[in-house]
Amino acid sequence: MTDVASAVEFEAEGLLDGLEGQQRSERVALLSYLLADGVSLDELKRRSAEGTVMFLPAEMVIGGRERYTAGQVVERSGSDLDFLLAARRAMGLPIPAPDETAYVQADIDALQLAHVAKAAGIEEEEILGLMRTLGRGLSQAAEAMRGIVLRLVLEPGVSEHDLARRYADAASQLSPMVGPLIGNLLTLSGPNATQGLDIKKGFVTYVLANGHRLGGRKIQ
């Protein structure tokens, strides 16, 4: 498929199933924009099936346009494929196809942070357990923040393509607030959360919390 695809080509890939009239035209415009901006067909198909294709522009603005395969993430992070997949499952994230360029720099950074935790003596299962806990809480927070941003940009008559771009602009402006907010919440909960924990476990909690990604962007 070329960078400039037609509705017929998108339809042949199943990307327009169930869409008619204006909804179909708006989806074609959004898919064409994303394809021309470097999003792979595999990712478009996966995200369309998940119902999250509209949020891709925001993720690209916040997390960067560079995409990697699982093998490239493993090579650049110095980790291994089994841990990458285990970490994705622990965080409740989808597993892309082996050759799909769906990973971002944040995935590489997260594995490197996990390597630091392992070097400090933290067991792999402990790291994955913390990822599961953080994943549950932060996924709920991400959904809540997504709803807030949508409320700010949604208005009658706006097309799906324009809405996606407005959402991306608003998300990029609000994302710098997320890190300090989460950091403050961790600090406030720290005295109760760390009772009975040794220094190493407290350290890995800090590493994983501050290395977590929301929308594909490293939280500073």
pLDDT band at 158 (very low <50, low <70, confident <90, very high): very high
Angstrom CA distances, 37 to 4, 22, 34, 173, stand at 10, 23, 5, 21
**Residue 104 or residue 179, greater confidence:** 104
| pLDDT tens, residue by residue, 100-134 | 888 988 899 989 999 899 988 999 999 999 889 88
pLDDT of 212: 40
